[in-house]
Amino acid sequence: MQDIEKRDRDTSSTSSGEAQVAFPIPADHEPPSYTYPVPAAQVPPSGHRVQLGVFPGINITREAPFTDADGKSPVFLGSAILEDGSVHPCKIAPSLLGAPCRVPFGGGELEHYGRYDLLPFVPELMEFVVTSRGHVPPGRQPVKGGSESGHELYHGVAVIDGVKVPGKAGFHLGGCNVPFGGREHVVTEKYEIL
């Protein structure tokens, strides 16, 4: 009789009349631990991007790869998202009045007030290589900085008046275009791409 009473206490019936057995849950019950293998860190083809609102600290931006004409104001690599949907490599100079993001566009140094992302320069993983006329040096993989009209754009750097200025480069451009001194400078020989 005790076995029947115990069975009745440990079972309940469903609406169809089937008996269900209730299993006691231990007091120290914890959900199972799930672990997944962490993939090795890899840099995507376009690099790791930092979307900007308030300008972040050096722990996020890393060291600026360039300085402005004064020799001390930091200048960073970036990509600007334009209203037409194109994305252009650009320079980001927090010390500039107006917009810190400047895009070489339409013959001028466009002050960009829309969205732009900063590309932290990581010298252990990235380097600038000399090239000319829009070509990618053999055996090199450039960092994609954007695209316009179906053409890829890369981060380029050219020297203007003794200052290294970041901008955009691409085969369809035939060189490197950089924003400096209020205008877009076109350099076709001996500039660098990332």
pLDDT digits (tens, 9 = 90+) for 118-173: 999 999 999 999 999 999 999 999 999 999 999 999 999 999 999 999 999 999 99
111 close to 99: Cβ distance less than 8 angstroms: yes
Residue 175's pLDDT is what? Answer: 98
| The Cα angle at residue 34 between residues 28 and 35, in degrees rounded to 5 | 135
In the numeric block, which tokens belong to residue 85?
């949907």
Residue 18's pLDDT is what? Answer: 54
| The Cα angle at residue 38 between residues 36 and 41, in degrees rounded to 5 | 165
Residue 53's pLDDT is what? Answer: 60
In the numeric block, which tokens belong to residue 104?
């070489």
Residue 55's pLDDT is what? Answer: 75
Residue 66's pLDDT is what? Answer: 97
Residue 61's pLDDT is what? Answer: 87
Q: Is 164 left (phi over 0), alpha (psi -120 to 50) or beta?
A: beta
In the chain the beta strands, taken as DSSP E runs, fall at 11-13, 19-21, 50-51, 66-67, 74-81, 87-92, 101-105, 108-112, 116-119, 129-131, 144-148, 151-160, 163-170, 175-180, 183-187, 191-193
- DSSP percent split of the chain into helix, strand, coil, nearest 5: 10, 40, 50
Residue 48's pLDDT is what? Answer: 64
Residue 173's pLDDT is what? Answer: 97
Spans of the chain, pLDDT less than 50: 1-14, 23, 29, 31-36, 38-39, 41
Residue 30's pLDDT is what? Answer: 53
